[in-house]
Structure 1
């Protein structure tokens, strides 16, 4: 029995009975009659593309968790009007308003048979499109391959590879439905890994500008992380409750790790991160007050007592692991954490408490909470940044529920300053070579503006309104910090290139809802100004 089979068996035991309780619930009970009528409509109009089990086929999965982002009338709008530049047709001419409502109700209902996605299902989806040994040794384009941007366009589900020197697209290709969690790169910056909400992971070669491999690792996936030694990719799933390890060179699945607690209950995965100095993956859990550390190599230096020993011995009875990598370390906490941030050396994890009123600092070396942080208003720590201010490192984070930005001293975890903004924000970005930090106000009536903050004075020095009435969000700098790229989140949107020093607009590139831009160099060097 190989290691992947062992983990699948453990997954089935620990997860099978708990999946249903963690499915996304509808905001109010769905009438049984609507679900029944909707099921018949689905079989007639949808199953051919999305499969009879709703797991996805030509079209994406249509399970409650897969469509959770389509809130309010968004789902019925998609059914009625279809999706531009996709194979999703408009059904307004075939179905009346009542039928569209019934179909929507069915899609938001839990499936009669709980989904299973294990070793057989994963292996059946695996496709190697190009032999990695046949790939060229040099880029097929002129320019700096480390100054490329991967731009995710959610409007029509495409990805643009952008030349960061010329600020011109090199190529554009169709992606899987609803990419999520940002682009992740191999340590040398050559390959980019993309994960979709419905579980597909794509490996793309930035030298030859082509897809190399794809595999579906789950039914609802949060994100992927790449080990800093370039050997592994780990995906974290919401459904089923599992972690999937793949070979980074070709995405071949290596093992499935069940996400279960001591009592046998399972948890959704909030996110997976790579901690390069520690030689490990850090896993954030949604339903258990724990953080997991899973080593994949020896750390660059001793991290905590027993770490090197645990890796070399590699024996963890709970998972049946008998090889050296992936020996699980559980860090048990007093409270669930919903969002995470790491300091630059990955010694501390800062997490937002579930009540949205506070935060806590966990020292990963000793494996326990060491401090509380005043972070009410639901901070978006996953988008926080660090920078130096008056000879100390500070953390700056926007808040999802209040119009403010908190600046925290990372020595004693006290609040240095709270900046008032024009609304709750989602993203912050900066660069080591820039005097400014950029922050959007994604939520609320002023979401078409972006604040520019002077990192030396901690004051808002300018507010931009690049496209009145359209959401402005997600800034990413080029490799040198000379340019800042801002997205207009609209189906007829754009990536706007700014001079990061003068704050003047340089160029505007039309894009279809460019929700994220990820610079290769900034990501592989774990820049303090961007998310990791």
Structure 2
């Protein structure tokens, strides 16, 4: 739940990446784009066979990475190398051109969404039972950011079962149907895809926008709701076939047009909760009964850039990127009830909760400070700040684990992973799985007996650990495995897993 790490890099670095360079003449570069790039990326840079090439879509890609992709191509994709076609100066200019906002921004509307829809298989031909022997609730969906592929991993044998190409830059984490059979992906450039984990096949896809943040699936399995930066709206799809139901413009109570930061489902409430980027409010959209999806506005004291829920989904813990702290919002009354002391830039969306001495606590990493903040969910008081070797992004645990695992995603010590004792709130162990390489994003098996950690590197890996002995069990080489998601933990909204 909440923003993913490269989205945080966007928050920290996109301002410089998207600054217009009005004094540069891009006419020659634009001709090169038309000659070499339009066929895959579209005349308006909104994408086609290749991804959209707009500042809003490239925010998670740093300019040197874009330069390298143009020069050397992208492995396991249709992106060719241009280092023998374009000069270094032309490639540099192309990068600047792509990161410069265009004068007439592209648009995307309901007609475009409907025209993009594709059924990829005849649903009547699909088996209603798994065609594989693995435990359906202990599968892992692994997103390989380095190659834009997805691997389905057997969580008992830790063996890949299948692998397939995804759309460009999957974002926001995959979401699952309530029974765990289907997984839904959202890509940065707006594609929503439905995949069948019983039959290992794509079912349908629809493009809902040009720059999509994430999606959520209703707890009854009927609806998929996607949130967009571009255009700033919500797009509601039928979960069965991904056909468009309606789009909902996002306009604040004060008339401010807003982007959507994130969309979540709140199962006990039978509703979607939406974080708005540009106005001080959140929305709740009920999907109970025969819904009309009219937003219920929850007015906040500050912008809600990031938030998490209490275990019963009664309260929102929310913070803005510029605030020195956060707020607690009662979703029943829609009122802010108290402030919470959270320094720096806490990443509440990756926070987790557990019981300590019989009472619920909530812990959140921080993307600007080397510390973990632990809150008492009854009193809303700060229990402890736990120093770490640097700013982190992900936390994970399991009801059967004595430790909360947290990375040091940002900073010079990103090879480290801390294991925090959930009762003493002390760092019990620090692991360095692959020295010199970024270790991040832990996910437990459904029973909590093992866990898998990602090493975010082109020559990275998934590393399997025994959750009790902390011994390495297996290492699976992989190109930037950015995240892995256990089906059972996700559909059960398990303790220790972000939602």
Deviation larger for 95-104 or 471-480: 95-104
Distance 1:286 1:468 in 2: 37
Aligned to 1:316: none
2:139 is the alignment partner of 1:148: yes
Which of 190, 208, 218 is the aligned partner of 1:227?
A: 218
Which of 476, 479, 492 is the aligned partner of 1:509?
A: 476
What TM-score do the two structures reach when normalised by structure 1? 0.89
Aligned to 2:181: 190
Aligned to 1:441: 408
8 A Cα contact 1:132 1:249, kept in partner: no
Distance 2:231 2:160 in 1: 37
User: After superposition, where does 1:44-443 map in structure 2 within 5 Å?
Assistant: 44-298=35-289, 324-443=291-410
Deviation larger for 417-426 or 87-96: 87-96
Q: Report Cα offsets for 1:13-38 as digits up to 9, x if no partner.
A: xxxxxxxxxx9774544144343232
Provide structure 2 residue ranges, at least 5 long, that are not aligned to the other structure: 1-13
What TM-score do the two structures reach when normalised by structure 2? 0.95
Which of 433, 437, 447 is the aligned partner of 1:470?
A: 437
8 A Cα contact 2:450 2:467, kept in partner: yes
Q: Report Cα offsets for 1:278-313 as digits up to 9, x if no partner.
A: 110000000010000000115xxxxxxxxxxxxxxx
User: SS in structure 2 opposite 1:78?
Assistant: helix
8 A Cα contact 2:18 2:55, kept in partner: no
8 A Cα contact 2:374 2:382, kept in partner: yes
C-alpha displacement of 1:470:
0.8
C-alpha displacement of 1:86:
1.3
8 A Cα contact 2:368 2:391, kept in partner: yes
Distance 1:186 1:135 in 2: 16
C-alpha displacement of 1:129:
0.9
C-alpha displacement of 1:97:
2.0
8 A Cα contact 1:38 1:105, kept in partner: no
Aligned to 2:9: none
Deviation larger for 337-346 or 175-184: 337-346
User: SS in structure 1 opposite 2:305?
Assistant: strand
What number of residue pairs does the alignment pair up?
486
Provide structure 1 residue ranges, at least 5 long, that are not aligned to the other structure: 1-22, 299-322
Distance 2:264 2:296 in 1: 15
Instruction: Let me know the Cα RMSD of the aligned residues.
Output: 1.4
8 A Cα contact 1:297 1:325, kept in partner: no
C-alpha displacement of 1:114:
2.1
8 A Cα contact 1:36 1:106, kept in partner: no
Aligned to 1:499: 466
User: SS in structure 2 opposite 1:337?
Assistant: coil
8 A Cα contact 2:17 2:63, kept in partner: no
Deviation larger for 518-527 or 355-364: 355-364
